[in-house]
Amino acid sequence: MSTANAYLTVAGLGVDVVYKDIKNLHISVYPPVGRVRVAAPERTDEDTIRLAVVQRLPWIKRQREQLQQADRQSTREMLSGETHYVWGQRYQLDVSRTSGHYGVEAKGKTLWVITPEGTDSDSRRATLDRWYRRELKAAVPDLLAKWQPIVGVKADNIVVRRMKTKWGTCIAHSRTIWLNPELAKKNPRCLEYIVVHELTHLLERGHGERFVALMDKFLPDWRLRRDELNEAPLAQESWT
**Residue 29 identity (one-letter amino acid):** V
pLDDT, residue 240, reads 21
Residues 184, 84 contacting (CB under 8 angstroms): no
| CATH number, domain 83-230, options 3.30.2010.10, 3.30.479.20, 3.30.565.60, 3.40.47.10 | 3.30.2010.10
User: How much is the pTM?
Assistant: 0.72
Q: What are phi and psi of 96, to 5 degrees?
A: -75, -20
Per-residue pLDDT tens over the stretch 105-159: 999 999 999 999 999 999 999 999 999 999 999 999 999 999 999 999 999 999 9
Render the burial of 91-101: b for 16+ CB within 10 Å, e for the rest.
bebbbeeeeee
Contact of 38 with 50, CB cutoff 8 Å: no
Residue 24 buriedness (CB in 10 A; 0-12 / 13-18 / 19+): exposed
- The answer for 39, left when phi > 0, alpha when psi is -120 to 50, beta otherwise, is beta
Write out the DSSP string of 26-41: EEEEETTTTEEEEEEE
| Arithmetic mean of pLDDT, 200-206 | 92
Q: What pLDDT, on the 0 to 100 scale, is given for residue 231?
A: 66
pLDDT reported for residue 238: 28
Q: How far apart are CA 109 and CA 102, in angstroms?
A: 20
- The domain segmentation of the chain, as residue ranges, is 4-73, 83-230
Whether residue 189 has pLDDT greater than 90: yes
